[in-house]
A and B are shown apart, each in its own frame.
Chain A
């Protein structure tokens, strides 16, 4: 029983390793005290953004051009994979003073 489960886990790990392209990176963007940092981040298509909301309030990361609109509950982290290149200005719909830029290379 135990060895078989172990093997399955191993197999899953192997699959995971194949599925994730070697160049994909994870970029962390933190929202704390109603400030987005870094204010300007760079990434590539295929990279994952980890939106970390350290505030006691809900925030959103809303692209001005409509490319993404992520809602992050208080004290939560949301991951999203970037699928489209471009320089995207985004803001928080609930706190429009929170603005930042994400540069996504193809």
Chain B
């Protein structure tokens, strides 16, 4: 637990470090880009898990992640279209994508039960990181009320995912 928590904290400080490096409050186009990127990252991890996972519960969890994150990202795309906002790439999105690519490669080398455990543990840590970022950075920084609303909905959904992942992680022990 402590190790997992410190990984999450380290990941978060990386995330906030990148965001703070910009020196200014995040703009709505940047927030939209970060939120969408965070979703894509989890979809990619889940698609890898759908192929690689051996445990039934882990496979089902991965399927749930694809279904939910695709639904949320579709809402996000519809919203930015409606608001005529163009999501803007930024250092936080780049840092997230880089970390995710490294993690995907690392998980790609594992097999069987070792893979299942590593994937689910990472899902717990990842959702924790994203939820903290949503709560402390993205939601407070969002100006448009509809964007803020969607982020708040996202937070509730991802808190559910975190609990679900924690439940699956506990069942693997």
B164 x A58 contact (CB < 8 A): no
**When chains A and B are docked, how far (Å) is the Cα of A74 from the Cα of B167?**
24
Per-position contact with B for A50-61: 1 when CB-CB < 8 Å, else 0? 000001111000
A34 x B156 contact (CB < 8 A): yes
Q: Which of B51-70 contact A (CB under 8 A)?
A: 64, 67-68
A95 at the interface (CB under 8 A from B): yes
B170 at the interface (CB under 8 A from A): no
**When chains A and B are docked, how far (Å) is the Cα of A94 from the Cα of B66?**
11
**When chains A and B are docked, how far (Å) is the Cα of A97 from the Cα of B159?**
10
Q: How large is the interface on B (under 10, 10 to 19, 20 to 34, 35 or more residues)?
A: 10 to 19
- Taking CB atoms, residues of chain A closer than 8 Å to B13 are none
A96 x B164 contact (CB < 8 A): yes
Main secondary structure of the interface of B (DSSP, over half): helix
- Taking CB atoms, residues of chain A closer than 8 Å to B153 are 33, 55-56
Q: Which of A58-106 contact B (CB under 8 A)?
A: 58, 74, 94-98
Main secondary structure of the interface of A (DSSP, over half): loop
B157 at the interface (CB under 8 A from A): yes
Q: List 22 A-B contacts (CB under 8 A).
A: A33-B153, A33-B156, A34-B156, A34-B157, A34-B160, A56-B71, A56-B72, A56-B75, A56-B153, A57-B67, A57-B68, A57-B71, A57-B72, A57-B157, A58-B67, A58-B71, A94-B68, A95-B64, A95-B160, A95-B164, A96-B164, A97-B167
Contact surface of A with B, Cβ cutoff 8 Å: 33-34, 55-58, 74, 94-98
Contact surface of B with A, Cβ cutoff 8 Å: 64, 67-68, 71-72, 75, 153, 156-157, 160, 163-164, 167
- Taking CB atoms, residues of chain B closer than 8 Å to A34 are 156-157, 160
**When chains A and B are docked, how far (Å) is the Cα of A75 from the Cα of B64?**
18
Report A102 CB to chain B, min CB distance, Å: 21
8 closest Cβ contacts across the A-B interface?
A: A34-B160, A33-B156, A94-B64, A97-B163, A57-B71, A56-B75, A57-B68, A95-B160
